């Protein structure tokens, strides 16, 4: 029998806080100033210049033929950092003893025979659009995003400075084999307050396929007021200004790349497409209000805008460890004080995103996934929480041809062990790649030239997800 994960608790267990405000930067300065050059050069990946980011994006063009019909042009992965409780959300056990079933009651959804938590009525009302997986095996996962964002049982936190074993995340694979849907847009964007804690990147696939840090990059691609585009399109003037800048500042090697990538950085700014995509203020007040002003709502709205703009893969997280409900003694609280007030926010956020995608004709080509790193233990603790639990977790899938109104798999009467249709991270990865038109049985090349399977082990696309 699989054993629940036992791991030390991070600092995020120790002090309380709610959703952090999502406030994209807007500190633009005059073109031609040293600071403007530096800002354009440093926007994007932490530690990478804008030209280097563009060089890597150029190299991220597909290097292998897509071998499957494309069902999903884009993927939005909603990452519930910390491990959401399957027993209190999507797999309630009302007939179990009190210490197992928890304080919440199930409600009937719009699909006969499917019940979910009473605090998620909006999802219940549109269950015909969702597939619930109740039998995802998380036994290879631990308290990081590594395993399930890579969807690879061999990709784990190792605490030896080699996290993930070099295996790439699904977003990085998408950036390599598909690239963006619209030229000039990034292929992979992450929306998270902590890239280190909640986002897993490219591994040995190469830094060129790392995600763009969408929180830090927001507001960094616009044109300062009063600047004439014609002046900036004079490439000789740009070259001269950049040369002058280098004489007056100590720049990193990345900022001294070939002029081609410097020019592409300016081209991205001049096109305005990236700046428009990140500017949620272009949305009506009604739409912004519908999504909500909190972190989850703002990031969900931005994720939809990025899909519209041509980004292929978006991973978003509301806050680090937010779903780690051990009990009232830790930062995020227990089931009643911690999880209960969060569920309506999640419920409304997911429903709003799905409805908005659907109304705009984007849901048919956008795969939406909702999951965390593992589930929670069957027995309520003395402080009204649940511990980490790797034997099973629940998750949601919608869009991109996923047949809604179904439950895949089942757990035992305690909700702690898989009773039927065991699935693992490799099965989920194979499904995502197939939806994107990427051969799930294809390979990527490790440093040194070794072909490595995109999906490890006896895994296959989940047939029930279409």
**Residue 400: which residues within 8 A CB-CB, separation 6 or more?**
71, 72, 75, 363, 364, 365, 366, 367, 435, 466
Task: Single out the residue of 425, 417, 436 nearest to residue 460, CA to CA.
Answer: 425
Please compute, for residue 48, the number of CA atoms within 13 A of its CA located in the half-sphere on the CB side.
22
Q: Is the pTM of this model over 0.85?
A: no
CA dist 339 and 104 (Å) reads 11
Task: State the alpha helices, DSSP H only, in 233-339.
Answer: 235-248, 259-271, 273-278, 285-291, 295-309
What is the pLDDT, as a whole number, of residue 69?
86
- Phi–psi pair at 407, nearest 5 degrees: -115, 130
pLDDT of residue 13: 52
pLDDT at 225: 55
CATH of domain 68-218+283-465: 3.40.720
User: Who's near 374: CB < 8 A, 6+ residues apart?
Assistant: 5, 83, 138, 141, 142, 143, 388, 389, 390, 393
Name the 3-class secondary structure at 388.
strand
* Strand pairing class (130-136; 388-389): unpaired
The domain ranges of the chain are 24-59+223-271, 68-218+283-465
Tens digit of each residue's pLDDT, the chain (466 residues) = 444 444 444 444 544 433 333 333 333 333 344 443 444 444 443 444 555 555 554 444 434 446 678 999 999 999 999 999 999 999 999 999 999 999 999 999 999 999 999 999 999 999 999 999 999 999 999 888 999 999 999 887 776 556 678 899 999 999 999 999 998 888 999 999 999 899 999 999 988 899 999 998 766 655 555 555 555 455 556 556 655 555 544 444 444 334 434 544 555 555 577 888 888 889 999 999 999 989 999 999 999 999 999 999 999 999 989 999 999 999 999 999 999 999 999 999 999 999 999 999 999 999 999 999 999 999 999 999 999 999 999 999 999 999 999 999 999 999 999 999 999 999 999 999 999 999 999 999 988 888 999 998 899 999 999 9
- CA–CA dist 117, 124 (Å, integer): 8
How far is the C-alpha of 49 from the C-alpha of 43, rounded, in Å?
Answer: 7
pLDDT at 465: 98
| pLDDT tens profile 380-423 | 999 999 999 999 999 999 999 999 999 999 999 999 999 999 99
Chain CA centroid to CA 189, Å: 8
| Cα torsion angle, 139, 144, 148, 150, sign | negative
């Amino acid at each position: 029998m699989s054993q629940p994960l036992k791991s030390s608790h991070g600092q995020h267990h120790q002090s309380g806080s709610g959703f952090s405000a999502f406030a994209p930067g807007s500190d633009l300065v005059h073109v031609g100033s040293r600071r403007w050059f530096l800002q354009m050069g440093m926007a994007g990946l932490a530690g990478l210049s804008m030209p280097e980011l563009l060089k890597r994006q150029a190299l991220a063009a597909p290097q292998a033929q897509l071998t499957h019909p494309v069902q999903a042009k884009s993927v939005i992965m909603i990452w519930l950092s910390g491990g959401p409780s399957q027993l209190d959300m999507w797999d309630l056990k009302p007939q179990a003893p009190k210490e197992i079933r928890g304080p919440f009651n199930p409600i009937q959804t719009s699909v006969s025979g499917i019940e979910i938590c009473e605090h998620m009525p909006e999802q219940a009302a549109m269950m015909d659009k969702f597939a619930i997986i109740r039998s995802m095996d998380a036994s290879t996962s631990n308290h990081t995003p590594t395993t399930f964002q890579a969807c690879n049982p061999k990709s784990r936190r190792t605490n030896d400075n080699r996290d993930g074993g070099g295996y790439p995340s699904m977003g990085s694979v998408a950036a390599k084999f598909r690239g963006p849907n619209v030229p000039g847009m990034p292929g992979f964007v992450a929306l998270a307050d902590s890239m280190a804690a909640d986002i897993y990147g490219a591994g040995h696939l190469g830094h060129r396929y790392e995600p763009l840090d969408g929180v830090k990059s927001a507001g960094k691609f616009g044109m300062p007021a009063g600047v004439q585009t014609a002046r900036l399109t004079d490439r000789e003037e740009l070259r001269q200004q950049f040369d002058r800048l280098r004489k007056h500042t100590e720049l990193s090697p990345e900022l001294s790349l070939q002029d081609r990538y410097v020019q592409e950085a300016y081209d991205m700014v001049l096109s305005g497409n990236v700046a428009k995509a990140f500017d949620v203020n272009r949305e009506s007040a009604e739409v912004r209000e519908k999504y909500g002003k909190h972190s989850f709502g703002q990031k969900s709205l931005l994720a939809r805008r990025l899909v519209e703009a041509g980004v292929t893969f978006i991973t978003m997280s509301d806050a680090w460890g937010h779903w780690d409900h051990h009990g009232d003694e830790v930062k995020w609280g227990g089931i009643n004080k911690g999880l209960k007030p969060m569920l309506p926010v999640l419920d409304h956020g997911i429903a709003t995103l799905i409805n908005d995608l659907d109304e705009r004709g984007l849901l048919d080509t956008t795969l939406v996934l909702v999951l965390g790193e593992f589930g929670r233990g069957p027995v309520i603790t003395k402080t009204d929480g649940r511990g980490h639990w790797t034997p099973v977790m629940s998750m949601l899938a919608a869009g991109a041809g996923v047949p809604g109104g179904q439950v895949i798999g089942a757990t035992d009467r305690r909700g702690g062990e898989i009773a039927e249709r065991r699935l693992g991270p490799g099965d989920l990865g194979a499904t995502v790649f197939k939806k994107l038109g990427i051969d799930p049985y294809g390979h990527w090349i490790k440093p040194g030239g070794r072909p490595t399977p995109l999906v490890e082990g006896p895994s296959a696309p989940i047939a029930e997800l279409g």
